[in-house]
Amino acid sequence: MKSSMTYKYILAIDLGTSGPKVALVSAEGDVVDYEFEETPLFLFPNGGAEQNPDDWWQAIKKATHRLLAKHSDSVPDIIAIVCTTQWSGTVAVDQNGDPLMNAVIWMDSRGARYAKAVTDGWINVEGYGVDKLATWLWLSGGIPTHSGKDSISHILYIKNELPKIYQRAFKFLEPKDYLNLRLTGKFAASFDSITLHWVTDNRDISRISYDDRLLKLAGVERDKLPDLKRAVDILGTLTPDAAKELGLSENVQVVMGLPDVHSAAIGSGAVRDFAAHLYIGTSSWLVCHVPFKKVDLFHNMSSLPSAIPNRYLLLNEQETAGACLTYLRDNLFYPDDELKTGAKPADVYKTFDRIVERVPPGSDKLIFTPWLYGERTPVDDHSVRSGFFNQSLKTTRAHLIRSVFEGVAYNSRWLLGYVEKFIGKRLDGINMIGGGANSNVWCQIHADVLNRPIHQMKDPIQANVRGAAFLALVALGHLTFDDVSSRVQIAHTYQPNPANRKIYDELFAEFVNLYNANKKIYQRLNRVE
């Protein structure tokens, strides 16, 4: 007998940096279909990175209309909408919910000097005032990083350099919470999405709230921040305008939702404590749930509120992963300039895979460092930059491509060492998701470089929408989080190749040496004037 929920669906919206994916997900957690719509990214020489929130909404509408046009019979059975989005972004809105400027997104480092100012002191540890550091870590589990890329740093940038906008701002919202506002007309944030503002008391994972001491240290008024809810709470139903624009019923419920790191954790199937997943998308991370609150200040990692109620999630992020391949494609191989090499192949990433397989492991000792936009973990260093090292007259374009694949994996291995120290356990088997996990050769490279089995998850690019939909189904009472791992399948497991151990151990050691030897050069070249 079929479940009463067989013909019920969740509309899951996954807003990444490149644009939103809108997916139709069944009550069993299967992604029936999805549509994607690209949105522009605006980068500025001073470390600025912005997107237009209205571009997000228009793209969501376009993708939703295309999706529902293909599945018109399913529209009446859509019972809820849930959003998962890029994290550590800031949308300043007025009382009507209208944006006052572009969204300052997770890549933006213009608030670095202001983050340093509010965290400085007479006696410093790693650049943080001892008294402030103790207060922040004790209450929130972290502190505004000196990269300037946390949400609180974005707000401080606006406060100091765009004071008129700051004064007019009714609320500062994360991207997810802005989309929820567009859907319901309600201003709210979830315990997980607000974390990188570093103004909540997270000591008791079951009772999270804003803390007056932290708000004072940060220099931000409480009334400029939204009220807090759980990720699994129902925020409300669609407004008449939102329902009309999307082509849905006003009765469709909107679940609070969660940031992309948190949805990926659920959608990867790694929901149990110490079960890890490696996400390779535009950025990268290696995270797992843990049963304790802990901070590694020296490597910019912390266990913080999960989207799963009363759970902690070890959080970290490496800035550019898949973005390195995009850079290779758009800036080096197929740029729109006088040296045009022809149109980009439709299957350029599959072409990369084929080329990579022809190059020996280690790329003849060519090393790529993937720090195109600074780094967050295991070093918090916004000045570090990318490069190809040890090129020779024999270096070919094929070497460049494979070295990018390997360089991202070296960065993952760098992070892995500190993650395993943090949790006190060896990770034997890592669930790999994101667009990068679609590449069989990249999965094998990660297995070889990390010296760990890599589980390539089925439909790895759907992990975020799948995780968001699972959350919505839990919120609606149709699923429990204990059910999730059994509903996510492993497509293939890649075992480390012992024949590649020696070369990758050698090159990884030099990868770290390259950072240590050159970091002061990067600081001089890329210091903010």
Give the span between the Cα atoms of 235 and 183, in whole angstroms: 10
pLDDT at position 121 is 86
For residue 334, tell me if it sits in a domain.
no
For residue 459, tell me if it sits in a domain.
no
- Tens of pLDDT along 307-329? 999 999 999 999 999 999 999 99
pLDDT at position 340 is 76
What CATH number does the domain containing 200 carry? 3.30.420.40
For residue 434, tell me if it sits in a domain.
no
Contact criterion met (CB below 8 Å) for 442 and 280: yes
Query: Cβ contacts of residue 148 below 8 Å, gap of 6+?
Result: 47, 108, 109, 110, 111, 112, 113, 114, 115, 157, 382
For residue 512, tell me if it sits in a domain.
no
Residues of the chain with pLDDT under 50: 1-4
Token pair for 403? 């070295």
For residue 290, tell me if it sits in a domain.
no
pLDDT at position 4 is 46
pLDDT at position 339 is 81
For residue 104, tell me if it sits in a domain.
yes
pLDDT at position 6 is 58
Query: Cβ contacts of residue 403 below 8 Å, gap of 6+?
Result: 363, 366, 367, 368, 388
pLDDT at position 314 is 96
For residue 337, tell me if it sits in a domain.
no
For residue 500, tell me if it sits in a domain.
no
Give the span between the Cα atoms of 268 and 226, in whole angstroms: 29
pLDDT at position 529 is 59
pLDDT at position 417 is 97
Token pair for 110? 């213009």
Domain count, the chain: 1
Query: Cβ contacts of residue 329 below 8 Å, gap of 6+?
Result: 344, 348
Question: Which range of residues forms the domain containing residue 251?
Answer: 9-267
Give the span between the Cα atoms of 488 and 327, in whole angstroms: 31
The amino acid present at 245, given as its one-letter code, is E
